[in-house]
Structure 1
Amino acid sequence: MGELSALFSPERIAVVGATERAGSVGRAIMENLLDSFAGEVVPVNPSHEEVFGIPTLDDVAAADADLAVVVVPPQIAVDVVREAGEAGVRNVVVITAGFGETGSEGAAREQDLIEVAETYDIDLVGPNSLGIMSTPVGMNATFGPENATEGRMSFMSQSGAFITAVLDWANDQGIGFKDVVSLGNKAVLDESDFVREWGDDDDTDVIIGYLEGIDDGQAFIETAREVTAETPVVLVKSGRTDAGAQAASSHTGTIAGSDQAYEAGLEQAGVIRAASVQELFDAARVLESQPLPEGDGVAVITNAGGPGVMSTDAIGDSRLSMASFTDSTLDAFSEALPAEGNIYNPVDIVGDADNERFRDALDVALGDANVGSVIVLSCPTAVLDYQQLAADTVELQAKHGKPVAACFMGGARVEPAAETLADAGIPNYFDPARAVQGLDALSRFRDITEREYQAPTTFDVDRERAREILASVEGRADTRLGVEAMGLLDAYGIETPAGDIVDAPADALEVAESIDGDVVMKIVSPDILHKSDIGGVKVGVPNEEVYDAYEDLISRARNYQPDATIIGVQVQEMVDLDDGVETIVGMNRDPQFGPLLLFGLGGIFVETLEDTTFRVAPVSEPEAEAMTREIDAAPLLRGARGREPADVAGVVETIQRLSQLVTDFPAILELDINPLVATPDGVEAVDVRLTVDPDQL
């Protein structure tokens, strides 16, 4: 195991606040430990001479403990932890509530707790924690009513109540755990610490968890990306809201809520995100026990047509596919099945199928090179012995070494067969869709293990010029920048159309005459972000109309908002949109994960269509390239319907350059390049707007 091994394998545990008082947390923890812990339990309570017949100590310093479990009132909990640290105790679980979750006084108390832990190098769980468990040593240092049974999953949760509910259910389902941690307020140890620990633990095959938030998203991505190369991590993350976008003023900020950051961050970390508790355990059980598939083709063997169709629909909704059988497989099915059966996928072996027919069909399917995994789907009949079917399934899965999910539908008749399957690590589901989800999790994790992480490209840029442009907001009430910040993109090598910003009509004409063809003219004002809404953009202006166009744009802006700051007018080379695709590249800074990049279909419909995808910056070239494939409009970039392909490589490089820009400058809170026009000849950023925090410069 890793650095936290002593936390999960103590030999001597001190319970500070131990008592026999009925209904108390101190009593519950003592009872749980005394019931199963292989080591020594030392009660600490100066108000008692003994607890459950064990002599008490007056303070934790005298306990000589490997782990201290603190159950005293919050007003003295910090002092107890300090005493433990001074005595050399390096592992502490603070059960006590009344810290950061209770307001400013509690938050100050929690900060004191953090400082004590840092001073004495204490690995501290909590505060406000249900406690921790580790089944190999029989440790149940919680005040929950259930102990975990032994298994090879390790489980963390921000909700202690969720742990008690899960353990009650899991014991009934025969699901076991190695370690269980109630994270509490995560004052010191958080989800990244436990993912790292369990990733190094040979006795943990799957890491699962329930999280309400991740405090340091960047650290979590870095840690989990390493762990998930070998150990699956499956999480339920609650709170799918748009709260993170409430105060946003850019397109990206409007679209990119907090859940998009979690979705992107967890995907980049290699974490499988479950939408429900059922999905969490369906994925965990199959990942714990089944081999990874070599391919995504699924064969369905069933004695019931309806459920076979249901499984086919579920496969169609997943990343998996219905396997296409080889000719030899089809011939074998033709021999094994009656004429009324279906030899194509899903394979219907007909309702009168006995165990021999089921076994023959399953053996043929598992032997097909095009089949990555198999679903054995059966409904009870008088001629079918479920227990024998389970035994045959176990034997054939071991013979072929391919993942199998069982869907033995029924009630009490299924239970003995399900136990036989479970003992061999084959999950059984009543619902065919759940069987598909389980196999889908295997496929997803296989792809995660095959990823080759590539470091982000570092481009040669002009950081000083970029800093000067961003610093132009200093001293201003409004810290937004628009097209006057196009030089920021130039400084980072992002192509922009030729042109300039001018503050006189004569200068506008001079710029226009230096550009071949007609020009685009836009009002430049930090107070007028949606320029086209007020007629603040003129397209296709010939030289002879530039002077009047300048005056008209200024007049429109003054009439729309008399007190607006008018910087001038941008005169810009026209970009041919007929052969191009308007995209958007943007960033919204998430409180937990940092810069969240967006790429999608741009132009005026960006907020309506929301054809977008997200990544947490910095991104590598493969990640940026993947973003260009994930949107619905991806075929437009690659030459759909006879169009010449756009410069996708240029788009990929622009995403990477923007990634470097927003990583280099935390002062950029949000940024849009919209549109970023991709043509066959190149990529150009036509417009930009951003919000800057000058205190971060």
Structure 2
Amino acid sequence: MQSDARGLFDPERIAVVGATERDGAIGRAIMENLERFSGEVVPINPKRDEVFGIQAYTDIESIPDPIDMAVVVVPPQIAVESARTLGENGVKNVVVITAGFGEMGEKGEALERELAEISDEYDLNLVGPNSIGIMSTSADMNASFGPMDALPGSLSFMSQSGAFITAVLDWANDKDIGFNDIVSLGNEAVLDETDFIEFWDEDEDTDVILGYLEGIDNGREFVDTAREVTEETPIVVVKSGRTEAGADAASSHTGTIAGSERAYEAGLEQAGVLRAENVEELFDFARVLAGQPTPEDDEVAVITNAGGPGVMATDTIGDTDLNMAELEDETVEELKEVLPEAANFYNPVDVLGDASVDRFDEAIDIVLQDENVSSAVVISCPTAVVDFEDLAETISSLQDKHGEPVVASLMGGERADVPEQTLREQGIPTYFDPARAVESLESLRTYRDITELEYESPTEFDVDRERAEEILRSVEDRDSDSLGVEAMDLLDAYGIPTPDSAIVNDPGAARDAAEDIEGDVVMKIVSPDILHKSDIGGVKVGVSEADVEETYEELLSVAHDHDANADILGVQVQEMVDMDSGTETIVGMNRDPQFGPMMLFGLGGIFVEVLEDTTVKVAPVSEREAENMIDEIESSPLLRGARGRDPVDESSVVESIQRLSQLVTDFPAISEIDVNPLLASPDGVTAADIRLTVDQDRL
């Protein structure tokens, strides 16, 4: 996005390419919506002298004054030509409303590529194509063909669905929710979600960034940018399309488990982006993030005039990472002095159904003074003795006095409408459902943790990249893109410990290899055509030196019986690893189309398919992120000495995750990789097996 991108949202002069008065035309709707624009609108239509009484021009060249932004609503081919003309004449900001591009097949895709090339040539900030337009309430600008204007506010909203914007606007206007900027991203030929979050981070009028996303084209760039943005500006998104796209095509354990949806979950979490489940939650989070400070701690107090809703709030707090505050003895004594004997003086504080606004006032004031309370939920059901409007004034005043985050649940219908407006003006969100009030506080807590998190760069280990590349290029000499145990040296090159081993092609060589290894050995068929060697008897464990030659012949026979056409590269003779000495884990990677390499860690061996206790992160991962991967699996107690087991050397597991992360980042040609099992023991780790797929086009 160019440095003058403010011209998209605060232009002085807008040209409408395709302006018209024709009924039902989008060019007419754009012109009508721009009637309230505080600047100048310039219609471009070679067939008309004026549009809605405004002088029209035949083309951009004939306009005497410079144009800050152009809205293009002409057929696709003409839209492309118009973009070039706009660029040639110094227009930097362009919104292409026109559809019929990438969403329409090969011809449209070609036009969209041309549009992107023109934008690159002339440094255009281009929104769309296939966009409904953009809005900015601070400029009184509605450069869209949506049916209504937005109310002013501090939320900036982007959507990959134009229809979603119109629906949200209709809903938000009814709820009195305002916006600063709104962008229909369209096909994102040039500007995308990453560009706008970066821009709004610098925008003083934007307090919270909201998004409806169906996909993210460059996930790694989004993660890196969002990490910086969320230090100051919260980002909340609804991500639709919860599918396991791509998993079906993956051949490894990692590829099957680390599907597209999990990639988005991991990517958004690493980016510090809050993910809402639906539109209601999106704006629940947005309102509290825009209006309330982040809590210093997780202790919540509930003040209510109804026991049932108080219990609902308490239950919801128990379902989150928040805690019910334990009130100080002094607080309890003060509450006993002002509340009836039948009231509950502990958290949740029940002021009883006959409570007046004055009683609420005293209780809230006392509770918010408690040093153990970091935020509060005030709940009120309608009664004959409580006036919601007066209560709203009281809550607003006390929140301002104490400075702690407060949310409200006024459980009424029309009588709550005006009080809700009073609370909104103070930045205090209110909800009919107490559970939603609590969940909004949870979003504040989550955002606080995001801002307190210091992101660190991944560790750069000293590795042998030349040796690694040589091993990966070995696929060029075979029919298969898969590598198995013959690629164990790849791990050695990147400092991940492996057992002593050798791949041999005759019984005598097998015997010689076994002589060089102390104790009994493991022998495995080496074949890119036999993925699950154990299932066919292609692995023999505990082979003595005397039996090595016979076992070699037996393994070859088993392999040929299984697949007479299988490409047999030999037999691996490997040092025995005592699997009982530690815990089998898996470290792997699957390359996601949006986020790139996705690291996976979990319980390994045969358990990876049965328990599916794994976690994923976008690579490259830092030391802290690798540590978090261990924390996130449910079976982490097995690694830390559960039920009398000796704890494993966790630092060696963390380092192995980072080293594999560096490997797959250094070599984009690795499509997927499994190190399974990676045996973790008190003495360190040992990688006992490996399987990977190489994309030869990326070598």
TM-score category, normalised to shorter length: over 0.9
**Which digits, 9 at most, give the CA deviation of each residue in 1:481-505, with x for residues without a partner?**
1111100000000011122222222
Q: Please say which of residues 576-585 and 510-519 is displaced more in the overlay.
A: 510-519
Aligned residues: 696
Q: Secondary structure at the match of 2:502?
A: strand
Q: Secondary structure at the match of 1:48?
A: coil
Compute the displacement of 1:2 (Å): 5.5
Structure 2 length-normalised TM:
0.97
Quote the Cα distance in structure 1 between the aligned partners of 2:593 and 2:677: 26
Asked if 1:264 corresponds to 2:287, the answer is no
Quote the Cα distance in structure 2 between the aligned partners of 1:106 and 1:410: 52
Equivalent residue for 1:536? Answer: 538
Asked if 1:427 corresponds to 2:432, the answer is no
**Which digits, 9 at most, give the CA deviation of each residue in 1:88-126, with x for residues without a partner?**
111111100011110000011111111111111111111
Q: Secondary structure at the match of 1:627?
A: helix
Q: What is the letter of the counterpart of residue 23 of structure 1?
A: G
Quote the Cα distance in structure 1 between the aligned partners of 2:365 and 2:639: 45
Equivalent residue for 2:45? Answer: 45
Quote the Cα distance in structure 1 between the aligned partners of 2:491 and 2:37: 62
* CA contact 1:2–1:197 (8 Å) conserved in 2: no
Q: 1:361-440 to 2 correspondence within 5 Å?
A: 361-440=363-442
Q: Secondary structure at the match of 1:188?
A: coil
Quote the Cα distance in structure 2 between the aligned partners of 1:542 and 1:357: 84
Structure 1 length-normalised TM:
0.98
Q: Please say which of residues 488-497 and 531-540 is displaced more in the overlay.
A: 531-540
**Which digits, 9 at most, give the CA deviation of each residue in 1:648-692, with x for residues without a partner?**
100100011011000000000000111111101101111110000
Equivalent residue for 1:213? Answer: 215
Q: Please say which of residues 547-556 and 257-266 is displaced more in the overlay.
A: 547-556
Asked if 1:5 corresponds to 2:6, the answer is yes
Asked if 1:280 corresponds to 2:282, the answer is yes
Q: What is the letter of the counterpart of residue 177 of structure 2?
A: I
Q: Please say which of residues 334-343 and 64-73 is displaced more in the overlay.
A: 334-343
Specify which of 452, 455, 471 is matched with residue 453 of structure 1: 455
Q: Structure 1 residues 335 and 543, CA, compared in 2 at 3 Å: closer, same or farther?
A: farther
* CA contact 1:61–1:86 (8 Å) conserved in 2: no
Q: Secondary structure at the match of 1:151?
A: strand
Q: Structure 1 residues 370 and 642, CA, compared in 2 at 3 Å: closer, same or farther?
A: farther
Specify which of 463, 466, 472 is matched with residue 465 of structure 2: 463
Quote the Cα distance in structure 2 between the aligned partners of 1:104 and 1:222: 32
Quote the Cα distance in structure 2 between the aligned partners of 1:125 and 1:540: 65
Equivalent residue for 1:242? Answer: 244
Specify which of 300, 303, 307 is matched with residue 302 of structure 2: 300
**Which digits, 9 at most, give the CA deviation of each residue in 1:257-298, with x for residues without a partner?**
111111111111111111111111111110001000001111
Q: 1:84-99 to 2 correspondence within 5 Å?
A: 84-99=86-101
**Which digits, 9 at most, give the CA deviation of each residue in 1:612-641, with x for residues without a partner?**
111111111111111111110111112222
Quote the Cα distance in structure 2 between the aligned partners of 1:475 and 1:579: 38
**Which digits, 9 at most, give the CA deviation of each residue in 1:37-82, with x for residues without a partner?**
0000011101111111112100022233111111111121111111
In structure 1, stretches of 5+ residues that fail to align are none
**Which digits, 9 at most, give the CA deviation of each residue in 1:346-374, with x for residues without a partner?**
22333233323322222222122222211
Q: Secondary structure at the match of 2:606?
A: helix
Q: Secondary structure at the match of 2:677?
A: strand
Quote the Cα distance in structure 1 between the aligned partners of 2:577 and 2:466: 29
Specify which of 638, 641, 645 is matched with residue 640 of structure 2: 638
Q: Structure 1 residues 569 and 340, CA, compared in 2 at 3 Å: closer, same or farther?
A: farther
Equivalent residue for 2:113? Answer: 111
Quote the Cα distance in structure 1 between the aligned partners of 2:631 and 2:216: 28
Q: What is the letter of the counterpart of residue 312 of structure 1?
A: T
The percentage of counterpart residues that share the same residue type is 66
Q: Please say which of residues 580-589 and 60-69 is displaced more in the overlay.
A: 60-69
Q: 1:544-559 to 2 correspondence within 5 Å?
A: 544-559=546-561
Q: What is the letter of the counterpart of residue 651 of structure 1?
A: V
Quote the Cα distance in structure 2 between the aligned partners of 1:283 and 1:306: 24
**Which digits, 9 at most, give the CA deviation of each residue in 1:434-453, with x for residues without a partner?**
11221111111111111111
Equivalent residue for 1:195? Answer: 197
Equivalent residue for 2:62? Answer: 62
Q: Secondary structure at the match of 1:243?
A: coil
Q: Please say which of residues 337-346 and 256-265 is displaced more in the overlay.
A: 337-346
Q: What is the letter of the counterpart of residue 361 of structure 1?
A: A
Q: What is the letter of the counterpart of residue 358 of structure 1?
A: F
Q: Structure 1 residues 466 and 382, CA, compared in 2 at 3 Å: closer, same or farther?
A: same
* Aligned CA-pair RMSD: 1.4
**Which digits, 9 at most, give the CA deviation of each residue in 1:223-260, with x for residues without a partner?**
11111111001111111100121200000000111111
Q: Please say which of residues 453-462 and 562-571 is displaced more in the overlay.
A: 562-571
Quote the Cα distance in structure 1 between the aligned partners of 2:129 and 2:318: 45
Quote the Cα distance in structure 2 between the aligned partners of 1:583 and 1:327: 49
Quote the Cα distance in structure 1 between the aligned partners of 2:483 and 2:24: 61
Compute the displacement of 1:457 (Å): 0.7
Quote the Cα distance in structure 1 between the aligned partners of 2:663 and 2:186: 36
Q: Please say which of residues 162-171 and 302-311 is displaced more in the overlay.
A: 302-311
Quote the Cα distance in structure 2 between the aligned partners of 1:246 and 1:495: 31
Q: What is the letter of the counterpart of residue 235 of structure 2?
A: V
Q: Secondary structure at the match of 1:635?
A: helix
In structure 2, stretches of 5+ residues that fail to align are none
Equivalent residue for 1:647? Answer: 649
Q: Secondary structure at the match of 1:252?
A: helix
* CA contact 1:3–1:197 (8 Å) conserved in 2: no
Asked if 1:659 corresponds to 2:661, the answer is yes
Quote the Cα distance in structure 2 between the aligned partners of 1:96 and 1:21: 17
* CA contact 1:379–1:409 (8 Å) conserved in 2: yes
* CA contact 1:319–1:440 (8 Å) conserved in 2: yes
Q: Structure 1 residues 373 and 507, CA, compared in 2 at 3 Å: closer, same or farther?
A: same
Q: What is the letter of the counterpart of residue 222 of structure 2?
A: F
Compute the displacement of 1:552 (Å): 2.0
* CA contact 1:244–1:256 (8 Å) conserved in 2: no
Q: Secondary structure at the match of 1:600?
A: strand
Q: Please say which of residues 438-447 and 509-518 is displaced more in the overlay.
A: 509-518
Equivalent residue for 1:26? Answer: 27
Quote the Cα distance in structure 1 between the aligned partners of 2:447 and 2:635: 27
Asked if 1:309 corresponds to 2:305, the answer is no
Q: Secondary structure at the match of 1:283?
A: helix
Q: Structure 1 residues 62 and 278, CA, compared in 2 at 3 Å: closer, same or farther?
A: same
Q: 1:669-688 to 2 correspondence within 5 Å?
A: 669-688=671-690
Equivalent residue for 1:560? Answer: 562
* CA contact 1:409–1:429 (8 Å) conserved in 2: yes
Q: 1:56-205 to 2 correspondence within 5 Å?
A: 56-63=56-63, 64-205=66-207
Quote the Cα distance in structure 1 between the aligned partners of 2:519 and 2:341: 74
Q: Secondary structure at the match of 1:88?
A: coil
Q: Secondary structure at the match of 2:509?
A: helix
Q: Structure 1 residues 231 and 3, CA, compared in 2 at 3 Å: closer, same or farther?
A: farther
Q: Secondary structure at the match of 1:683?
A: strand
Quote the Cα distance in structure 1 between the aligned partners of 2:148 and 2:249: 44
